[in-house]
Amino acid sequence: MKGDYQDLVDEISALLGAPATLENRDFRLIAFGAHDSDDDLAMDPVRTRSILTRQSTADVRSWFEGFGIARATGPVRIPAAPEAGVFRGRICLPVRYRGIVQGYVWLLDQEPGLPGPGPAALDAAMEVAQRIGVLLAEEARAGADLSREFLAVLTAGRGWQQDMAVAALRVALGAGGDGLHAAVCVTPWPGEAPASVPGAAAVCVVPRRVGSGPGSAVPGTGTGAGSGPDTAGEPALAVLLRLRSTDALTPALAAVARLLPRAAEATGTDGKGAGAKGADGGAGATAVTAATSTARGVTAGVADPVRGLAELPAAWEQAVAAARAAAAQPRLGPVAQWSAIGPYRMLASLAADPVDDPSARTLLTPANRELARTAEVFLDCAGQAGRAAAALGIHRQTLYYRLGRVEQLTGLDLDEGEDRLLLHMALKAARLT
């Protein structure tokens, strides 16, 4: 398939007399033509970074999309902008299939005053771009067509059933089956699986499941190997991301983040997420946060990358836990990585069912919501009264009064480490339910 893309890119380069590059709709490089020019402007910073890192930054993407390339059906000329690192103007050929943009072919435009490609040449190049669109759409559909095999791996019971499901998915994925993958859970997910998710090897919708133990699919439902679907519950979307390296996970989250507004619009839920946390907490996280700013009440969890499909069930449990943590703690979401959810890694597996610890039972009633919040903030601040009072915006004496009420309601002594641990776990676990 990659060879087909390269041949088509070379064909466009020959038609228009300029080196071309092909990127998918997420601005990730797929193929590029050879550069035989000594002109320094032919390799400006944007083009160089795209080829060397195989992707463009969020700022570059936003700048180019500002010229309407995602809606265009024909060539788009984009002027040079040295301040943006674009020293030479571009010609963008949108790659579409059945009206849906699949990617973009980029060429360097001629310098001002020099004749560029004529209409006939551009029309011929657009015909080639349409052939590329067919290939990209077919590749995307191939991932969606594996939904049955992928779902079987995530829901099969332990033992020989799971072994058979993994073997079937490995055969279906072919040579890429033993590569690096990351499991993603998006919940709630209404309707069918999307026709394509950039960078995905497979996608499926997993019904809500009941019971306990490995095999549960959806946040807040518990787990249950071999238990049947609960059609009255909320399903989740499972995405199997294909990665080149562990460093590729953060940019891949952008594709996941763009699924959230679609699910939020369909569910009509209220906003909870405050931001997304990337693996490096830096530029990747910022890009994901921006992409998910419109998502409402929908969260996603991303597991640690694994090599080997036998690890997928465990990875799916990580993704589910991360999605639950993102819903429980807004600062973690709306896209949370398993590696970044802290104590929720343990609590998610312990709190499959509603928490009913007798010590915290009264404190967790609606009438004592403010006292529960006070206790949680106090414990989050490691028992430091000054920090907790500042975080809550109250006087320290008010804090002490509330903590005294907490001790009366729970029967716990907040000067005792084990009592603090019990209450802290109960408060955090209650968020997950």
Q: What is the mean pLDDT of residues 420-432?
A: 83
Q: Is the pLDDT of residue 262 over 70?
A: no
pLDDT of residue 297: 74
The answer to whether 182 and 248 have CB atoms below 8 angstroms apart is: no
Q: Is the pLDDT of residue 91 over 50?
A: yes
pLDDT of residue 56: 62
pLDDT of residue 111: 67
Q: Which of 61, 49, 57, 51 is nearest to 31 (CA)?
A: 51
Domains 2-139 and 366-432 share a fold: no
The answer to whether 352 and 222 have CB atoms below 8 angstroms apart is: yes
Residues forming beta bridges with residue 22, ordered by sequence position: 31, 105
pLDDT of residue 6: 87
Mean pLDDT of the chain: 77
Number of C-beta neighbours around residue 171 at 10 A: 10
Q: Which of 113, 135, 177 is nearest to 308 (CA)?
A: 177
Q: Is the pLDDT of residue 200 over 90?
A: no
Residues forming beta bridges with residue 229, ordered by sequence position: 209
Distances (CA, A) of 180 to 147, 192, 196, 243, 304: 18, 26, 19, 5, 10
413 pLDDT band, cuts 50/70/90, is very high
Q: What is the mean pLDDT of residues 200-223?
A: 57
Q: Is the pLDDT of residue 421 over 50?
A: yes
88 pLDDT band, cuts 50/70/90, is confident
Q: Is the pLDDT of residue 402 over 80?
A: yes
Q: Is the pLDDT of residue 214 over 60?
A: no
Dihedral angle sign, alpha carbons of residues 121, 45, 285, 206 = positive
Give 320-339 pLDDT, tens digit per residue.
Answer: 989 988 888 888 878 999 99
Q: Which comes out higher in pLDDT, residue 139 or 273?
A: 139
Number of C-beta neighbours around residue 99 at 10 A: 6
Tokens 């001002």 belong to residue: 112
Q: Which of 43-57, 59-73, 280-294, 364-378 has the lowest mean pLDDT?
A: 280-294
pLDDT of residue 268: 52
Q: What is the mean pLDDT of residues 266-272?
A: 47
Give 220-239 pLDDT, tens digit per residue.
Answer: 333 333 333 332 347 899 99
pLDDT of residue 403: 94
282 pLDDT band, cuts 50/70/90, is very low
Q: Which of 106-120, 260-274, 284-298, 324-338 has the lowest mean pLDDT?
A: 284-298
CATH (one of 3.30.70.260, 3.40.630.10, 3.30.450.40, 3.30.479.30) for 2-139? 3.30.450.40
Q: Is the pLDDT of residue 127 over 60?
A: yes
Residues forming beta bridges with residue 209, ordered by sequence position: 229
pLDDT of residue 359: 85
Q: Where are the domains positioned within the chain?
A: 2-139, 145-350, 366-432
pLDDT of residue 171: 85
Q: What is the CATH number of domain 366-432?
A: 1.10.10.2840
Give 152-184 pLDDT, tens digit per residue.
Answer: 999 887 788 888 888 988 888 877 787 889 999
DSSP run (H or E) holding 107: strand 100-108
pLDDT of residue 104: 94
DSSP 304: P
Q: What is the mean pLDDT of residues 192-216?
A: 68
